[in-house]
Structures are given as C-alpha cells and as structure tokens.
Amino acid sequence: MKELKITPIKDGTVIDHITAGSALKVLRILGITGEEGYTVSVAMNVTSKKESLKDVVKIEGRELKPEEINKISLIAPRATINIIRDYNVVKKYRVQIPDVLEGIAKCENPNCISNQREPIQPVLKVISRNPLRIKCVYCGRVQSQVEKNLI
C-alpha cells in the first residue's frame, strides 16, 4: 500500500505504531465495537519510517486511560498513545505491560478453577516482562502463550 494520509483529529486518542495487522485485535481488547458511537478510524499496514509497516487507530471524542490501553501491550508492544486536545498532542506515552492481567486473558490450564463453570475472572500475574512470563494466581500455571488466550 502506498503512503496513507492520516488526517488529524480534534480531540481523542491516537494509538500509533501498532504491530501491523493487529489493529482489529486492539479494538477488540479495548472493547470498542463501534456501537459506542465514537468515530473510529483504523489504518492497517501503512508505511512507517521506523518500521516497515504499522497499524494506526484513532478514536475521536474519547481519551483512553493508560490502564485501559496498557493491556494492548500484549499484542502491540511498541504501540504509542497520543492524547489529542484541540488538534494538539497533549500527552504521549508508550504502552507498558501491566503487573496483573485481570479478565484480559484466560488461563491455559483447562482444569484451572477460572476455566470451570464458576464465574471467576481469570487473574494472571506478570512475573517477567522480557521474556514475557505470566502466572495464573489460581493454579500457578506459567503461561506459554498469552496472545491466543486473550478474552
């Protein structure tokens, strides 16, 4: 795809440097379906100076909080967040892997209590960031795959 012009937004959040092809997963993790009424623009596989390709998501009229966004670090570790007010970037930060993942990913142990019929929210603790190692607080299983277990 040739360079795509990303038009500026007046107020809201721009999530930039998303791993190419992951924008829809990012929206899913953020719980944004389009039914909320916000204007959401998704640009996938656009050229970037730093990386070869990236995705960009713009959400108009809504400033996402760091704790809402940090969970996307699991699938888009290099994503940057720009908070826009009146066409200016007022805050810019990188996503960070949170200490605890609550209700974000399922435990990979099928016998874990969090995977049984009981309505228990899965809670996974991050024990190492590089490499990423995550442990279930219920059964103690260290997860080998997080991305495919995202809720």
Comparison of 46 and 139: residue with beta carbon closer to Zn ion: 139
Name which of 44 and 113 has its Cβ closer to Zn ion: 113
Detail the DSSP E strand segments found in 99-140.
100-102, 123-129, 132-136
Q: Does position 139 bind Zn ion by CB under 5 A?
A: yes
Closer to Zn ion by Cβ: residue 104 or 136: 136
Binding to Zn ion by residue 56, rule CB under 5 A? no
CB of 107 to Zn ion, least distance (A): 3
**Environment class of residue 95 by beta-carbon count within 10 Å: exposed (0-12), middle (13-18) or buried (19+)?**
buried
Give me the numbers of helices (H) and strands (E) for the chain, helices first please.
Answer: 2, 9
38 binds Zn ion (CB under 5 A): no
* Cβ within 8 Å of residue 81, ≥6 positions away: 13, 14, 15, 16, 64, 66, 69, 91, 92, 93, 94, 95
Q: Pattern 103-132, binding to Zn ion, x per CB under 5 A? A: ----x-x--x--------------------
Beta carbon nearer to Zn ion, 8 or 103: 103
Residue in this structure with the two tokens 């605890």, named with its chain if needed = 100
Which parts of this chain interact with Zn ion (CB under 5 A)? 107, 109, 112, 136, 138-139, 141
